Amino acid sequence: MINFNKFYKSFNIISIVLVIFSILLLFFKGLNFGVDFKGGTLIELRASDNKINVTSLRDTFINMNLGDVNIKKFGNEKDFLIKIEKKDTSANAIEIIKKDLTKAIGSSFTFRRVENVGPKVSSELLKSGIIAIALSLAAMLFYIWIRFEWQFSLGAILALFHDVVITMGLFSLFNLEINLSIVAAVLTIVGYSMNDTVVIYDRVRENLRKFSDIKIYELTNISINETLSRTIITSVTTLLALISIYLFGGEILKGFSLAMIMGVVFGTYSSIYIANPILVKLRVSQKTILKEDID
């Protein structure tokens, strides 16, 4: 048996520091929103001419006076991702860019993907993304509140909050792009982290019924250990699937799978080191559970 409970305090401190650091990052550095949420134009360009590179593209785009343009390689040497902040959704905006590009660098390129999002749509998408995440947290809170006692609900939601905030903090720190698929990833993280926490909580509750003489501090440790191999195996299989998406699933899914990988790692950690210490702090005992049973 591993004594997880010995490290409750130290890991809690680390977690608090990480969460505060993440919140500070989110406040002061902010997130790198993609065109989905900020509006603008995104072009994935494939060059069939090796003279085309980031520098030549950058020079060309600067001459087009399109405002802030961000150009980077996308996966390999001949694919480039061009992000234009200017919100021009007029019918021929893309066509003009294509023409100007052809004039400057020849016609040895194709647009593989074009996304053009107007300011109205992007602000709606952002709003619905935030609502979706808030709603999912609320729904989880509610579900756990029905299934368990409020102490568990609080612990689970703090663990969730911890995972989401730190994942977002990392996205801010590494300047990774937030787009629609990241919202999907965050919601899935919420589901996964909850899932992980619930399995341990389920065992804690079962053990609370079984043993009246064991303190919650010990009891959580027993429960974590009993469910530990499941926790590890499921994390490993999920991570194997996610790493496979990250490595082989193509550039478009990279952000999504990376967010999920972070989420699974933090989700697994938090269901041990956030969700359980909260139960200890809230002095959960057999009485907490029995009251529920009588109800």
d(CA 66, CA 88): 9
Number of residues that bind other proteins (CB under 8 A): 71
- Could you tell me which stretch among 60-68, 101-109, 201-209, 214-222 binds other proteins (CB under 8 A)? 201-209
What is the footprint of other proteins within residues 38-77 (CB under 8 A)? 44
Cβ 253 to other proteins, closest distance in Å?
Answer: 5
Give me the amino acid identity at 209.
Answer: R
Q: Identify the residue whose tokens are 């193509």.
A: 250
Closest CB to other proteins among residues 65, 229: 229
The verdict on 219 binding other proteins (CB under 8 A) reads: no
Distance separating alpha carbons of residues 222 and 243, to the nearest angstrom = 31
Q: Nearest distance from residue 24's CB to other proteins, in Å?
A: 28
Scan residues 222-241 and list those touching other proteins (CB under 8 A). Answer: 226-227, 229-230, 233-234, 236-241
Residue from 23, 94, 105, 265 touching other proteins (CB under 8 A): that is 94
How far separated are the first and last CA of the chain, in Å rounded? 35
Which listed range, 5-13, 92-100, 163-171, 274-282, lies at the site for other proteins (CB under 8 A)? 92-100
b/e code 87-125 from CB counts within 10 Å (16+ = b): bbeeeebbeebbebbeeebeeebeeeeeebbeeebbeeb
Q: Find all residues with CB under 8 Å of 113, minimum gap 6, and list them.
A: 42, 43, 44
Q: Is the Cβ of residue 77 or residue 206 nearer to other proteins in the bound state?
A: 206
198 binds other proteins per the rule CB under 8 A: yes
Q: Which residue, 25 or 43, has its beta carbon nearer to other proteins?
A: 43
**Contact indicator for 201, 288 with CB cutoff of 8 Å:** no
Q: In the complex, what is the shortest distance from the CB of residue 21 to other proteins, in angstroms, rounded to a whole number?
A: 26
- Sequence-ordered alpha helix ranges (H) in 174-294: 180-210, 216-248, 254-273, 275-281, 286-294
Q: What is the 3-state secondary structure (H, E, C) of 50-85?
A: CCCCHHHHHHHHHHCCCCCEEEEEECEEEEEEEEEC
Q: How many other β-carbons are positioned within 10 Å of the β-carbon of residue 247?
A: 9
Binding-site member from 95, 175, 211, 283 for other proteins (CB under 8 A): 95
Least separation in angstroms between CB 285 and other proteins: 21
- Residue 265 engages other proteins in binding (rule: CB under 8 A): no
Restricted to residues 240-259, the positions that interact with other proteins (CB under 8 A) are 240-245, 247-250, 252-253, 256-257
Nearer to other proteins, 23 or 121 (CB): 121
**Neighbouring C-beta atoms of residue 244, cutoff 10 Å:** 11
> Between residue 100 and residue 159, which ones bind other proteins under the rule CB under 8 A?
110-118, 120-121, 125, 128-129, 131-132, 135-136, 139-140, 143, 147
- Give the footprint of other proteins on residues 152-171 (CB under 8 A): none
- Amino acid type, 85: E
